[in-house]
Amino acid sequence: MTLPSFKRDAKLLIATSGIFAISFLGIQMLLQVLYVLRLGHGPRYVGLFTSTGAFTYMGMSLISGALGRRLGMRRTLLLGGTTIVIGMTALPATEFVPLQARGLWPIVSNVLLTAGWSMLNVNLVVTLTAATEKRHRNDVYALNNALIGLGTFLGTMFSGALPGLFANALQQSLDVPGPYRSALWVGAGFAALGLIPLILTQPVNPIASSRQPGARGAFPLLPVALMVVYVCLRHAGWATCQVFCKAYMDTILHLRTSSIGLITGAGQFLAILASLLTARLAARHGNGRILVTSTLAVAIGLIPLGLFSHWTAVAVGQLCILITSAIWLPALQAFQMERVDSEWHSLAYGSISMAMGLGFGSTSLLGGYLIEAAGYRTVFLVGAMLSTVSTGWIWAVLRARNGAAGSPNHGS
C-alpha cells in the first residue's frame, strides 16, 4: 500500500498530522517546559502545568467525539486546529500579561492548547478511518504515525537549535525566557500552516460497518472499558519520561537545549522507521502481540533512567520508549477500531483518548511532588512498574478473549 493509493482526503489528513507534529509535538513539547522553568518555576509547577493539559485532554475526549458527530468532523477539526494556534500563541505571551496573572497564564494557555489538540486528534483518527477502506487501515495508520514521527523529529531538532539562534540575535543568555519565547512563537506559526490542508478537505461519509450492515449495534461497553484501564496504566508509566525527561536533562544533567533536542530527535528518527513496520508486524504477529511487547518495552526502557544518572541512560531509555511507542499507537488504533461498529468510532476512540489523558495527567500531577520528595530517578522506576502492570493487564485481556488455551498472538 502506497500513498498514491489513498484517497485525496486521507492524504490531506496525513499532511495535517505531519504539520501539527512539527509545531505541537516537536517545537511546543520540547520548549514549553524549558520556557516554564526559565520563568522561575520548579518541578512541582511543571507537573501542575502538564497535568492540567492532560486532564483537559481527558475531559474533552468524549466531548470532542460528540462535537464531531454534532458539528461534523471537518468543522470540529478546523475548530480544534484554530484553538491549538491560539493556545500556542498564548504561552509565550506570559511575560506581557499583568504580574498577578502570570502564575495562572501558562496553565490557561495549556488548557486551550490541549482542548484544541483533543478536538483535532480524536476526530482526525476517526475521519481517517472513515476515509479508508478496512483492508487498508493498518497501512494508513502506520503511514500517518510515520509522518507524525517525522514531523516530531524535524520539529524537535529544529526547536533544539532555535533558542541558541535567538539568544545570539537578541544578545541574551539561554538562562532567560526571551530566546524560548521567540522560538515558541515560531512553533505557533507552523501550527497555523496546518490549517491549510484541513480547509481543503471535504466532509467524509463513514464507510459502513461490514459486521452489521444497516443495523445499529449496542455500544461494546465491557471491551472498551477493559481497554480504557489498559491505556490509562500504560500511559501513566510512559508519561514519566515524556513529562520529566526534558526537565531532568536540563536541571539535573545540565545538558544544553541543543543536546536535549539531539538526544530526543535521534529516538524520534528511528521511531519513524519503526512505525512503518507496524502493518507488516500486525499481519505476521497480530495487533494484540504488538500491544503486549511494546508495552513491556516501555518498562525496560525506563529501568536505565531509574538506575543511572547519566545522559547515556536517558538516550538508551528514550530510544527504546520512542521506537516501541511508534509501533504501539497505530496497532492500538487498528485494534480498537476493528472491534467497534463505525457508528461508535468517535465514542470509542474518545474513551481511549480520555484514558490517555487520565494516565498522563495523574503522572504529571503526582510526579512533580514525588520528584521533590525522592528525585527524578524514583519517578522513572515507578513508571517502569506501571508499565509492567499494564503489560500484564493487556496480556490477561487478550488471553481471556481467546480462551484459556489461547494466546495474544491472534489478538489482531
Report the distance separating Cα 49 and Cα 364, nearest Å: 8
pLDDT for 220 beyond 80 = no
Cα(231)–Cα(350) distance, rounded to whole angstroms? 12
Kindly state the percentage of the chain with pLDDT values over 70.
87
- Any domain includes 400: yes
Average pLDDT, the chain: 83
Residue 214 within a domain: no
* Domain membership flag for residue 210: no
**pLDDT per position as a tens digit, 128-143:** 877 776 666 667 777 8
Highest mean pLDDT among 85-99, 283-297, 312-326: 85-99
What residue has cell string 517545537?
27
pLDDT of amino acid 42: 84
In terms of phi and psi (left: phi > 0; alpha: psi -120 to 50; beta: otherwise), the region of 214 is left
Is residue 209 a part of any domain in this protein? Answer: no
Asked if the structure places residue 113 within a domain, the reply is yes
Residue pair 32/53 in contact by the 8 Å Cβ criterion = no
Is residue 97 a part of any domain in this protein? yes
What is the tens place of the pLDDT at every residue in 342-397? 666 667 777 887 888 788 888 888 887 888 888 888 999 999 999 999 999 999 98
**Domain range enclosing 159:** 3-204+219-410
DSSP 8-state class, residue 134: G
Domain assignment present for residue 313? The answer is yes
Judge whether 211 lies within some domain: no
CATH at 159: 1.20.1250.20
Is-contact 48 107, C-beta < 8 A? yes
Quote the number of domains for the chain.
1
| pTM confidence score | 0.70
